[in-house]
Chains A and B, each alone.
Chain A
Amino acid sequence: MNIELSRRAFLQTAGAGLAGTTLGALGFGDIEAAHAAAIRSFKLANTTEARNTCPYCSVACGVILYSKGDLRKGEQAEITHIEGDTDHPTNRGTLCPKGSALLGFVKAPTRLQQPMIRKPGADKFEPTTWEDAIDRIARLMKDDRDQNFVATNNDGVTVNRWITTGFLAASATTNETAFETYKVVRSTGMLVFDNQARV
């Protein structure tokens, strides 16, 4: 970074200096100035930084996300670079072959863009809306729950369970997502409920 900046600064100074010399009189000063202007600016200048942690393994290395645009100001923010966080006590800025390529995960061509539905027997997905997708899920959940909810067992004990619908939670969602998910799932009486730690 320093090399890049000092080189650029040097060229600018050099260009200005040349303008006053014989070479400058011959017009080379403009070439130098044009050359200096053409050099790509430092790519992390004018980016916004956000501290994050790697989502892959459980070492949880610190990473810094660099974005064009500032989310905290309500702007659109495009992540342009990700690197290790040198302040982080565990990884001290280092990353492995997976963490080093995190930008490619954020920008993978196979990131999902919109809700999709595949009808029974169909051989492809078709787009749907969030509104329709959530309505459909809630409708089917309620119908299944109402039909199969077990309020009491054969001995008359209150058991309030629902075992014909299941939920599989993730391995990389936040603790906050986890707790909210717990609330939503358990409040329905669902018992078929696990996360990736099982495997």
Chain B
Amino acid sequence: MTNSWTDIRNTDLVVIMGGNAAEAHPCGFKWVTEAKANRGAKLIVVDPRYTRSASVSDLYAPIRQGTDIAFLLGLINYCIENDKVQRDYVKAFTNAGYVVKQGFTYQDGLFSGYDEAKRDYDKSSWDYEIGADGFAVVDDTLANPRCVWNLLKNHVAVYTPEMVERICGTPKDKFLKVAEMVAECSSPTKAMTSMYALGWTQHSKGSQNIRAMAMLQLILGNIGVRGGGMNALRGHSNIQGLTDVGLMSNLLPGYLTLPNEKEPDLNAYMSTRGFKPLRPNQMSYWQNYRKFFVSFQKAMYGSAATPENDFAYDYLPKLDVPGYDVLRAFDMMHQGKINLYLCQGFNALQAFPNKQKITASLSKLKLLVVMDPLATETARFWENHGAHNDVDPSAIQTEVIELPSTCFAEDDGSLTNSGRWLQWHWAGGTPPGEAKRDTWIMAQIHLRLKELYRGEGGAFPDPILNLHWPYADPGDPTAEEIAQEINGRALAKVTDTADPTKVLAEAGKLLPGFAALRDDGSTSCGCWIYSGCFNEKGNNMARRDTDDPDETGAYLKWAFSWPANRRILYNRASADLNGKAWDPDRKVIEWDGAKWSGYDVPDIAPTAKPGEVGPFIMNPEGVSRLFTRGMMRDGPFPAHYEPFESPIVNPVAPNVRGNPAARVFEGDFRQFAEPASAEFPYAATSYRLTEHFHFWTKHVVVNAVMQPEFFVEISEQLAAEKGIAKDGWVRVWSKRGSVTAKAMVTKRIKPLTCDGKTVHIVGIPLHWGFTGAAKKGFGPNMLTPYVGDANIETPEYKAFLVNIEPVSGPVA
């Protein structure tokens, strides 16, 4: 989230699209209720189902899953056509006036540079004109036909209300009502917030779904303001933290990236990470990258990371592909190329697409290790549970070790919520049986491995032997010790670069924040964006002061918010060019002639003069991007692509199947149904229920009683057409698998008309399996396709094709 849960109270309009906060984030949704009750805010819900979020909305618009980009570009088109744009904001704070190179084109669904064989683009034409002064060429009048604004205008022109209806199935009058309400928020004194979740990410173009809304929010001037923003409602309690700390194939902590094999040394690595400003005077904060990187290496390798050895640059593995994401990992496993796999609190068998492929993959491992508080399906993938897990244990040669770990109630430490608050929690109970904390388990694995390498030698033992391990009890590091390591420490005296007499931190002391990081090896810091979380003032994540001056919802003294305890990202953009709040009633920070101050930690250098330094300090442009240059794999603008399995052919680009830049593995493509397939005519989607959390709460008796049994949700019309009785049994199958379920026949789902064709929707909730207190059941992943988003490889769980028929129930 750019903003926080408690900031939602400040909004005028909530758009819930790609999520269902009332059911999946109920206590956060209470801030929507608060804004409606106390501010007169309105709520719009756009969803294929009439959810509980929709049931309290002011306006509900149905949409076919997988068509959000057409809808959102339709809204942008409406705003531009009707001059509902916050002009001053767009001109000053976005790249609308930046002139794009000759050669950049978009035609028939493809941007310039497409290579069909590689399913990839040569992105060299997706960039700005660079002037003789080395800076990007900008036309402040927006008259240049090649400036971003005019390219955008042309790009979205096709998404008329009629085209939106044709693609999305949203009736034109509903769409226009949404558009009118959204367009009102182009006023500087009106703010709209976007609340989205996995309903946007779990598509083969998930990243572009989010970009499309971010672009809309920028042209409405809603980024950086109270009650505005792009608010990703993360699915789990510390998904945000695990990503911030970089536990992904291609990441280092704090959104630094792992080197690839074309970067043999630190200089080569840094050469593409210089972030030289693209306009005069801009901060381009990533220019400090080297400080973050070197400090991270010092946290990892301590005294073994020296200037002479490029701070142990060779200790880092180098990538040969963009990333070993889970889809690639399980495809490799399927080919027998992975021998050992360790799962820490992750139920892969239930969570990944195309379960048959996952089972076959796990069956090829030599060893699977599962660390979990609960008895998961993954640890028992080899166990026969009839139709619910139809395997022959004797044919599966995988050794499985299951390790009992603690749960939240038996562990100290911090979690990062959606609003970027790092909140400390304290253990209250003794772990059951022999269950151990994950920190203990990981320490034991490391120490054992180190002992083996010390005794036997072996392949490049250096990074294992030299891993910095500064804990009082090496076998059982405490959460406080690690939190301090994440925050960072001065290894030598650190002084202010502008005033060397001013000491920022004495040697050995905790760093006050990331501004004190250095690139000469004199500081260590595990995750730069978290620096400040545990400094000489104490554990700031454990703060519990609820003081909130003027009730802005900032709560600056509650816990710690990254970065630098800032509660609203880009908050400089809440003020106009002269530094005065766009909306005096919704002030965040203002310029007083000498410095920035207000209700939040300014997201700008405190003395950076307005008009000189742009508000988007992480970007070399200093402004936000309506056009992303070559940073996204599938285009600098979003474009509508159908899901890989789609009930209709793409009306705006009939020759393009799916997202043309999405990676598809051989074998998986053969397992996709054809577009407009007669064999698989129904559009399926997956979702959560409010009574359950993922595959955990089926282990809880109370929740298992509330929602005991797997079902699928279909409309009355489809039930009538197929002769399916309410609560009757059905079989649902895709090209990859089959499930049986009870049918919930409902008014919440209605057939849509898309491109002249009736499209029926089948809803499949995800909470069942074969362990726990609930009845055994299937989930959507028996059916889902094995393909991910073009940029970040999140699987397309939300849009695929199935068939359905009534069947007699299972024999009791």
Q: A residues near B, CB below 8 A?
A: 48-62, 65-67, 69, 71, 76-79, 82, 87, 89-91, 94-102, 104-106, 108-123, 125, 128, 130, 133-142, 144-146, 148-149, 151, 153, 155, 157-199
Contacts and interface: CB of A to CB of B under 8 A. Distances in A.
Nearest to A170: B345
Interface residues of B, number: 164
B512 interface: no
A66 B456 CA distance: 49
Nearest to A50: B428
B345 A90 contact: no
A52 B426 contact: yes
Nearest to B246: A182
Contacts of B409: 52, 65, 79, 82, 102, 106
A144 B338 CA distance: 10
Given A57-B693, A170-B344, A172-B238, A105 B432 contact: no
- Describe A's contact surface by its main secondary structure: mixed
Interface in B404-442: 404-405, 407-418, 421-423, 425-430, 432-439, 441-442
Contacts of A105: 407, 696-697, 699-700
Contacts of B434: 113-115, 130
A94 B29 CA distance: 12
B433 A59 contact: no
B656 interface: no
Nearest to B408: A55
Interface stretch (B58-66, B104-112, B789-797): B789-797
Contact of A176 (B246, B467, B482, B793): B482
Interface in B360-390: 366-367, 369, 372-375, 382-384
Interface stretch (B131-139, B444-452, B591-599, B800-808): B444-452
Nearest to B433: A113
Contacts of A171: 235-239, 242, 345-346
Given A105-B696, A175-B238, A67 B703 contact: no
Nearest to A55: B408
A145 B238 contact: no
A179 B446 CA distance: 13
A177 B413 contact: yes
B13 to A, nearest CB: 21
A128 B244 CA distance: 35
A170 B467 contact: no
22 contacts: A51-B425, A51-B426, A52-B427, A60-B423, A101-B697, A104-B700, A106-B407, A110-B699, A118-B402, A121-B393, A151-B459, A159-B320, A160-B317, A164-B337, A166-B329, A168-B348, A174-B238, A175-B486, A179-B253, A191-B258, A193-B324, A199-B202
Nearest to A147: B459
B652 interface: no
A187 B315 contact: yes
Interface string B727-739: 0000000000000
Given A108-B374, A134-B444, 11 more contacts: A50-B426, A79-B409, A89-B6, A90-B5, A118-B399, A158-B314, A160-B317, A166-B324, A185-B247, A189-B463, A198-B325
Nearest to B411: A174
A176 B338 CA distance: 28
Interface in B209-246: 233-246
B445 A137 contact: yes
Contacts of B433: 111-114
Given A98-B697, A144-B339, A169 B402 contact: no
A165 B340 contact: yes
